[in-house]
């Protein structure tokens, strides 16, 4: 498993006027939900199928990307062909960039995991044989991912997300600490040094015997939020709880990483 992450997942156009400038709309699609992130954050992008390791479900490969994320979820009334929807966007996006990863049906893994954990969109959950996913890196650096799913009710939905390169900060510094106290001390010092930088607190908490991976993720979130609560400059700090998702054999499985992003 890679130690870096990118969470990005589906991304369409620029959501708004610019969307139509590079992608055609699927005929008859109806917007269900949309979200536009204005702040620069690190996002997880999945680059491999889901698999079970020691009875724990996790992606085979993933990494981090820093930028702003925009997403849209659509319903297509009367449509029953997931491949037709997938190919509609795949053909267009191939002209604009390269596919980094794609999967189909049960090869993608748990539909429940994609819908509820990756996208936090329960409406996307359905039989695994009716799911499609692909991730594209555009020529100008943006990442676009598309997930298509059909529910057991035969209703077809698709989700698109975009990470915009034009808003990504240029300089990223990474620091790793074994204790909350050391991370807190460094964070206070770096935040007081300048008002321009953004700080991302990424907490890794190793698996505990008898506990599910969700526990390690929740535990790491709690640690990150506690550190953030002890710092000022709340609008300049973002926390990420990865639990045991991003194991790195060259580092301790339990650690706190501070990502300093400078303009």
163 to 169, 246, 259: CA distances (angstroms): 12, 21, 18
Domain boundary at 148, 166, 184, which? 166
C-alpha span between 2 and 69 (Å, rounded) = 22
Looking at the structure, tell me whether residues 159 and 175 fall in a common domain: no
pLDDT at site 22: 64
Tokens representing 180 are 């909350």
Question: What digits encode the pLDDT tens for the residues 77-132?
Answer: 999 999 999 999 999 999 889 999 999 999 998 899 899 888 889 999 999 999 99
pLDDT of 251 reads 58
Report the chain's terminal Cα–Cα distance, integer Å: 30
Of 136, 151, 166, the last residue of a domain is 166
Neighbour-count burial of 39, counting CB atoms closer than 10 A to its CB (0-12 exposed, 13-18 middle, 19+ buried): exposed
For residues 146 and 184, membership in a common domain is answered with: no
Q: Are residues 226 and 253 in the same domain?
A: yes
Do 222 and 155 share a structural domain? no
What CATH number is given to the structural domain containing 242? 3.30.1330.60
What percentage of the chain exceeds 90 in pLDDT? 32
Find out whether 19 and 62 touch, Cβ atoms under 8 Å: no
Q: Is residue 2 situated within a structural domain? A: no
Does residue 194 sit in the same domain as residue 110?
no
**Do the domain assignments include residue 8?**
no
- Reduce the DSSP state of residue 97 to 3 states and report it: strand
Task: Say yes or no: 150 and 235 in one domain.
Answer: no
Are residue 206 and residue 143 in the same domain, yes or no? no
Residues 105 and 223 occupy one common structural domain: no
Range of the structural domain that residue 238 is part of: 169-262
Is 128 within 8 Å of 149 (Cβ atoms)?
no
Asked whether 108 and 49 are in contact (CB, 8 A), the reply is: yes
If one compares 67 and 252, the residue with the highest pLDDT of the two is: 67
Number of domains in the chain: 2
| pLDDT band, residue 45 (cuts 50/70/90) | confident
**Averaged pLDDT, 41-48:** 81
* Last-in-domain residue among 110, 137, 166: 166
Q: 91 in a domain, yes or no?
A: yes
Centre a 10 Å sphere on the Cβ of residue 234 and count the other Cβ atoms it contains.
9
The answer to whether residues 76 and 127 belong to one domain is: yes
How many other CB atoms are there within 10 angstroms of residue 207's CB atom?
A: 17
75 burial level (CB within 10 Å; 0-12, 13-18, 19+): middle
């Amino acid at each position: 498993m890679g130690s870096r992450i990118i969470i990005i997942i589906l991304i369409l156009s620029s959501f708004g006027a610019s969307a139509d400038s590079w992608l055609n709309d699927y005929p008859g699609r109806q917007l269900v939900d949309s979200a536009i992130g204005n702040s620069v954050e690190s996002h997880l992008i999945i680059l491999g199928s889901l698999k079970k390791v020691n009875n724990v479900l996790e992606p085979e490969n993933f990494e981090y990307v820093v930028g702003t994320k925009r997403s849209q979820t659509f319903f297509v009334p009367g449509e029953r062909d997931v491949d037709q929807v997938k190919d509609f966007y795949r053909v267009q996006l191939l002209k604009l960039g390269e596919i980094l990863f794609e999967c189909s049906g049960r090869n993608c893994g748990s539909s429940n995991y994609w819908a509820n954990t990756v996208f936090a969109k329960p409406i996307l959950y359905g039989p695994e044989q009716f799911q499609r996913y692909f991730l594209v890196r555009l020529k100008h650096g943006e990442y676009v991912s598309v997930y298509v799913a059909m529910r057991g009710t035969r209703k077809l939905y698709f989700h698109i997300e975009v990470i915009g390169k034009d808003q990504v900060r240029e300089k990223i510094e990474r620091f790793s600490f074994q204790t909350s106290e050391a991370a807190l001390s460094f964070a206070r010092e770096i935040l007081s040094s300048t008002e321009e930088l953004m700080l991302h607190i990424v907490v890794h908490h190793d698996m505990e015997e008898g506990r599910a991976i969700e526990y390690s993720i929740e535990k790491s979130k709690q640690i990150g939020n506690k550190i953030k609560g002890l710092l000022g400059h709340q609008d300049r700090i973002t926390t990420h709880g990865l639990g045991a998702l991003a194991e790195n054999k060259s580092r301790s499985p339990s650690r706190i990483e501070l990502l300093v992003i400078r303009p």
